[in-house]
Amino acid sequence: MLAPPVTAFTVVQRSGAARAGALHTAHGTIHTPAFMPVGTHAAIRALLPGEVRAAGAEVLLCNAYHLALRPGVELIERAGGLHAFMGWNGPILTDSGGYQLVSLGRVTRVDDEAADFVSPFDGTSLRVTPELAMDIQVRLGADIVMCLDHPVAWGARQELVRAATERTHRWAQRCRDAMPAGDRLLFGIAQGGFDASLRTESARAVAAMGFDGLAVGGLSVGEPHDVMHAMLEASLSQFPEERPRYFMGLGTDAEILAAVSAGVDLFDCVVPTRLARHATAVTDEGRISLRKAGYREDLRPLEAGCDCVACASFSRAYLRHLFGTGDILAHRLVTVHNLTHMSRLMAGVRSAIVAGAFPQLQMSVQSGRPASAAG
């Protein structure tokens, strides 16, 4: 068993509410603010773990609910845990499956005791209690374990929002009580729907339970940006300074920088890798859709100054050609680029905070100019 970290989270510099820090886990340190690539099924699609690491990722997110369905916790446990099973030796955060209560809403049912899921793969049912959610993630060997929560969709009725929020609080306490001693970190999740007072109430209640870190859940699910930011501010107002703060499911440059400026430390999203599979690269100057005819003879790299293998060795014209022929190399190369872009963005954010230049960086990204123009 690896030794637990002495101090899990340290803030090393602040710029307004933005902060640069270090989150220590049993499998390594995460330098924050940080973006976590999403490997739902214990893989970043089409990439080797070494390629993900070379792209700058320090921590990955995997989904405990999906992994419990297939290949199953028992197999991963026999393989030596999730790190050995997927060949990743860095930190892993596992999501409990709470988000699937929104994304798989038509095939789920919730009561105060547990959440009932119907597998999208074979139709089998899985009843997940807070205690089982903890057991699954501990057996997987996650470094950061997430509580089971009950988010709601944008537009949900207020009575449902209130009931789901109160259920999230009860489940959080049950998760806290069920978590065995060890070297893993446990994060609580605040909910509250789209009501600022309920968001504040939820954040205060979850923060009082003494978790190692705190997450804002149930946002970036279709609500207007101004609503999202108002709900984020309401949540963060109750989170203690000494705990890491995680915005679940946020993954575009401008949105991430806005959340960093409010005091968020961790992010995850499928957007960069999903865009790559749909022939779209993310760059400092915006998105490049490689299926457009205008790139057919464009011999420039995806992004000048990027040192990823896609930019160092290949042109936009070649990448467009690969997508046109259906070659999997196209997915690999653009995924490497998009993850490299996210890592460079976050490294630039950390450096800007330390140098006192974060406001300039944020303005640069919002104006569509390259992040390197800041400062």
The angle at the Cα of 174, spanning 241 to 204, to the nearest 5 degrees, equals: 30
pLDDT value for 1: 37
- Compute CA 4 distance to the chain's CA centroid, rounded to the nearest angstrom: 23
Tokens of 114: 């547990």
Q: Over the stretch 106-124, which tens digit does the pLDDT of each residue have?
A: 657 889 999 988 777 777 7
Among 95, 143, 212, 284, which one carries the catalytic annotation?
A: 95
* Residue 116 bears catalytic tag: no
Q: Mean pLDDT, to the nearest integer, of 44-62?
A: 98
Adjacent-strand bridge partners of 126: 117
Among 135, 212, 265, 268, which one carries the catalytic annotation?
A: 268
* Residue 268 bears catalytic tag: yes
Whether the CA torsion 55, 59, 61, 62 is positive or negative: it is positive
Q: Mean pLDDT, to the nearest integer, of 199-213?
A: 97
d(CA 240, CA 214): 9
pLDDT value for 313: 98
In the chain, the domains with their CATH numbers are 11-269 (3.20.20.105), 280-373 (no CATH)
Adjacent-strand bridge partners of 190: 216
Task: Report the Cα–Cα distance between both ends of the chain, in Å, rounded.
Answer: 44
- Amino acid found at 329: L
* Average confidence score pLDDT of the chain: 93
Residue 107 near residue 158 (C-beta atoms within 8 A)? no
- The pTM for the full model equals 0.95
- Structure-model confidence comparison of residues 4 and 56, the more confident one: 56
